[in-house]
Amino acid sequence: MFIPMAVAIAEARVGKRGERIYSSRVPQLLERGFIAFKSSTYMMVLSGFIEPVLYLLSFGYGIGTLLPTIEVGNETIKYAAFIAPALLATSAMNGAIYDSTMNVFFKLNHDRIYQGMLSTSMGPLDVALGEIGWALIRGFAYACTFMAVIAPLGLVVSAWGLLAIPAAVLIAFGFASCGMAITSYMKSFQQLEIVNIILLPMFLFSGSFYPVSVFPVWLQNIVNLLPLTHAVNLIRGLCLGHINLALAGHAMYFIVMIIGGLFFTTKRLNALFMK
Amino acid sequence: MSLIGIRQGSLQLVDVARVQSRGALYVAQSRIRQMMKWIWIILGFAIANPVMYLISVGIGLGGLIDKSVGPAGIDGVKYLTFLAPALLAQAAIQGTMDETVFPTLEGFKWSKTFYSMNSTPLTGRQISNGIFLAAIFRATYTVLLYFGVMWGFGAIKAPHAWLAIPTAIFSGACFGALMQAMAGKLEDENIFFTVLGRFVMMPLFMFSGTFFPLTSMPFYLQWIGWISPLWHATELGRHLTYGHVISPTMVWVHFIFLGSMLATGLFFSGRIFAKRLAK
Amino acid sequence: MSNPLISARGLTKKFGDFTAVNGIDFDVFKGESFGFLGPNGAGKSTAMRIIGATAQRTSGTISILGKDPELHGPQIRAHLGVVPQQDNLDMHLTVSENLYIYGRYFGLPRKFVKGKVDELLAFAQLEEKRDTKVEALSGGMKRRLTIARALVSEPEILILDEPTTGLDPQARHILWDRLFRLKEQGVTLLITTHFMDEAEQLCDRLIVMDKGSIMAEGSPASLIKDYSTKEVLELRFGSDRNQAVADSLRAMCDRIEELPDRVLMYTENGEALLEKIYAADFHPKTSLVRRSSLEDVFLRLTGRTLIE
């Protein structure tokens, strides 16, 4: 009997873990990302990189004339060196959130791209991982370029700073999987705006521009729960070479975000397209 | 479907002269009505935004800066006082721009409401003016709320500080008019938003003397401020709220710079709207 | 007959209190063209999504190629080509990229898919549009591309949900021609439609659905034979008079239906009936004699028209 190739490929996955929601097609989805990327506007690509650099110039060097150094623990460092890691963390967050909210919302509700994907032999976990995987590749590229700017400026004090790049990817992973989970529950564009409204206070209060120790204790306690605070502390710790167990804690925070985000995204995609 | 009675006819019912004189108001009214659907979110954000910025940057970062620069202060005042008028101008400019650019795109592209408006006696220029008026409405309450928050934070020092309110609204209107004309020309909005947001608004926000005096930047970068409506608006705002010293000539320069944006923007926006609708 | 490819018994799908599909039974055999005819909201699309292994049933059983779609979704979808009601092409990609990446979603090797793309472009008559962004295509072209895309995995079963809704007559005929050719190659077609002419043209066998239930089943010809007369006489007397006239005409034919805008009289010989009506001193504003269609079957079964 003649068995079409697509069927043989699908049958080969029978009995594998999660066969009903996952068909190991992430590479194919990344391939889609690259094809779409080839014809995208380079202005858009460049813009993701330009934002942290502008902040660095304005705050690092502009504010730096008013506030040349800052005290971290018992060490005095250049203000620019203090905020550069925070800007890397913030741009990892912003990129991941943009890719997993606006982008995903349009594909979900307007283009119906996921519907098409899920009528093939793929499953919802493929789609979720593929989408997030693409966000991570972009995040990785942005992190590398930003490091290539700040390292020659002497803003990365320690060799541990190299680890800031994988750390930025980890952070992007956490935000992207949660962002996608949240987006999959959103009904309208206005609801999506809420995400942006939450991002602003997070950006302003996560210790990007000065140590959170200037806040009263109650506010510090709240701020210490925010994901961006952990992101900033993780990358700053690596760039400044302040290596301690707390860094592992920050990383853990993002691993939990990743697992939780993926769980809800898959569950929700299942409900949206498979119910 | 039930039947509909046609008794008087449109010749009797529609007062064309009235529409010709008040059309822009009708358009503004419909925009404002739409705004009212989200009014609590808009108001909430209009208050939360200054509160958060003033606490985080003005007080949080400002505290460290004040300690660092010592009793001389920045421009003779505390960092919070220095920063607040710039944020006020920024809020006016951003608010007006959102309220001109988005409705324009919606009207021409997303839901094409301008075309249905245009099939009534309303003209392109009236639609353009109406959108602009509604944007001024938004700018007005945004600025009022912002000013109130500034006052609450003790960032208002000069006796005639309230004049900063109309000045900020005026500044927002000037930039908004220009952006409305541009949005009217727009075909591909995705790229426009990215370019506008990241390559225009961001640099303006960062380098218009908002967070630090323009003069502390190298001279070859100071031109960014000179062409930035935000810098002109901020200079006026600082003058009014805490008595930042500027020469009378410069006051004129600031107003003429902003005013010419307004005139150009409004003139071209009306023309662009009319042309695009007739295309 | 051999075993059915698809077999449903008591298939039911509820959304909260609303029953979209209400205990339907049907069998689809290899190589046939099977239709779901019914108005909007009859439950056709929901039934198609269950068959497409992208929706879960509430109760009943269904087996597709001997498998339960809930347990073996990916394996079943590997056999299917799905053409949804609204095109869901990838707007960020070109025509050929759409075909290519869709094939890749099935896990097919690059080389195989690349060869397949050329074949499909020819099939859909889109060779010249190969490098065009999908956004720039006309409605008919998008539809042909969606169908071509569904064929990239050489599926055994092609599911088409309202394939020609929204297309102009010429584009519809091109599409019908393409579907005929697929059928000739042994592809099993599942088609939903609310166009009676489409059902008559394309389907060997169909079920008539209304409000989630099956009203009748059979070939188009047998359904017309069973539920209608040979000819129909359509008369218009003006919107205020149709009803009154219908009452006095009732005795002259087998069956009469009053619609808001016209009166339908069912008879074996339309012309003869029309003469009789004129002779009886009735003067319709317009009159038309036509053959019975599936539309009449539906009207008979449900008392409603297909397109309202």
Between residues A16 and B166, the one the model is more confident about: B166
Question: Are A183 and A192 within 8 A, CB to CB?
Answer: yes
Q: How confident is the model at residue B3 (pLDDT cuts 50, 70, 90)?
A: low
Burial of B190 (0-12, 13-18, 19+ CB in 10 A): exposed
Q: Are residues C242 and C282 in the same domain?
A: yes
Task: Give me the number of domains chain B comprises.
Answer: 1
* B9 within some domain: no
Instruction: Please report whether residue B6 resides in a domain.
Output: no
C299 found inside a domain: no
- Residue B15 CA neighbour count, 13 Å, CB half: 6
Q: What is the mean pLDDT of residues C44-66?
A: 90
Q: Decide if A10 and C77 are in contact by the 8 Å CB cutoff.
A: yes
Nearest CA in chain A to B196: A47
Question: What pLDDT was estimated at residue A107?
Answer: 82
For chain B, the straight-line distance linking the first and the last C-alpha, in angstroms and rounded, comes to 35
Domain that holds residue C215: 6-219
Sign, CA torsion B63/B66/B70/B73: negative
Domain C-terminal end among C180, C201, C219: C219
Residue C105 lies in a domain: yes
pLDDT-derived band at C307 (thresholds 50, 70, 90) equals low
Contacts of B52 in chain A (CB under 8 A): 200-201, 204-205
**Which segment of A166-175, B253-262, C2-11 scores lowest on mean pLDDT?**
C2-11
Considering the domain architecture, whether residues C159 and C44 belong to the same structural domain is answered as: yes
* Final residue belonging to a domain, choices C187, C219, C251: C219
Q: Is the pLDDT of residue A41 over 70?
A: no
* CB contact A51 to B (< 8 Å): yes
Question: Which pTM value belongs to this model?
Answer: 0.81
pLDDT band at residue C260, thresholds of 50, 70 and 90?
confident
Question: Domain end: C188, C219, C250, which one?
Answer: C219
Could you read off the pLDDT of B55-76 as tens digits, one per residue? 999 999 999 999 998 888 888 8
Q: In this structure, is residue B92 part of a structural domain?
A: yes
Beta carbons of C56 and A4 less than 8 Å apart? no
| C245 and C215 assigned to the same domain | no
Same domain, C199 and C245: no
The arithmetic mean of pLDDT across residues C47-52, rounded, is: 90
Tell me if C233 sits within 8 A of C248, measured CB to CB. Answer: no
Judge whether residue A2 has pLDDT over 60: no
The model's pLDDT over B201-260, given as tens digits with 9 standing for 90+, comes to: 888 888 898 999 988 888 888 888 899 999 999 999 999 999 888 889 999 999 999 999
Per-residue pLDDT tens for C89-115? 998 899 999 999 999 999 899 999 999
Closest residue in A to C152 (Cα) is A6
Look at residue B89 in the predicted model and tell me its pLDDT: 94
Q: Average pLDDT of chain C?
A: 88
Has residue B29 been placed in a domain? yes
Contacts of A200 in chain B (CB under 8 A): 49, 52
How many distinct structural domains can be found in chain C? 2
> For residue C281, is pLDDT > 60?
yes
Q: What is the pLDDT of residue A3?
A: 61
Residue A255 reports pLDDT greater than 90: yes
Q: What is the pLDDT of residue A171?
A: 95
Find chain A residues with C-beta within 8 A of B204's C-beta: none
By the CB < 8 Å criterion, does A50 face chain B?
yes
Q: Is residue A10 within 8 Å of residue A23, measured between CB atoms?
A: yes
Mutate to test the interface with A, among C30, C106, C152, C187 (most CBs of A within 10 A): C106
Residue-wise over A201-225: b if at least 16 C-beta within 10 A, else e? bbbbbbbbbbbbeebeeeebeebee
Alpha carbon of C104: minimum distance to chain A alpha carbons (Å):
6
Domain ranges of chain A: 21-273
What pLDDT is attached to residue C157?
Answer: 92
Distances (CA, A) of B220 to A51, A145, B228, C38: 21, 26, 15, 72
Q: Say if CB C295 and CB C306 are below 8 A apart.
A: yes
Does the pLDDT at position A225 exceed 50?
yes
- Count interface pairs A-B at CB distance under 8 A: 84
Calculate what percentage of chain B has a pLDDT beyond 90. Answer: 49
Q: Please indicate, yes or no, whether residues C41 and C158 belong to a single structural domain of this protein.
A: yes
Q: How far apart are CA A197 and CA A189, in angstroms?
A: 13
Residues of chain B with Cβ-Cβ distance to A55 below 8 Å are 206
Q: Is residue B15 part of a domain?
A: no
Q: Stretch C67-74: mean pLDDT, rounded?
A: 87
Which residues, at least 6 apart from B161, have a Cβ–Cβ distance to it below 8 Å?
B240, B241, B242
CB of B207 within 8 Å of a chain A CB? The answer is: yes
Amino acid at C140: G
Instruction: Tell me, yes or no, whether C156 and C123 share the same domain.
Output: yes
Please indicate, yes or no, if residue B1 is contained in any of the structural domains: no
Least confident of A136-150, B3-17, C286-300: B3-17
Task: Let me know if residue B194 belongs to a domain.
Answer: yes
Of C56, C75, C102, the CB nearest to A10: C75
- B5 is a domain residue: no
Residues 6+ apart with CB under 8 A from A198: none
Q: Encode pLDDT of B166-186 as tens digits.
A: 999 999 999 999 999 999 988
What pLDDT is recorded for position A1? 46
Its ipTM equals 0.81
Residue B111 has pLDDT above 80, yes or no: yes
Q: Are residues C133 and C66 in the same domain?
A: yes
Give the highest mean pLDDT range of A34-43, B113-122, B225-234.
B225-234
DSSP string, B45-89: HHHHHHHHHIIIIIIIIHHHHHHHHGGG-BTTB-HHHHHHHHHHH
d(CA C297, CA C274) in angstroms, rounded, equals: 22
Closest residue on chain A to B79 (Cα)? A66
pLDDT given at position B2: 63
- Residue B256 tokens read as 């003429």
Least confident of A14-28, A132-146, B186-200, B217-231: B186-200
Q: Does C220 touch chain A (CB under 8 A)?
A: no
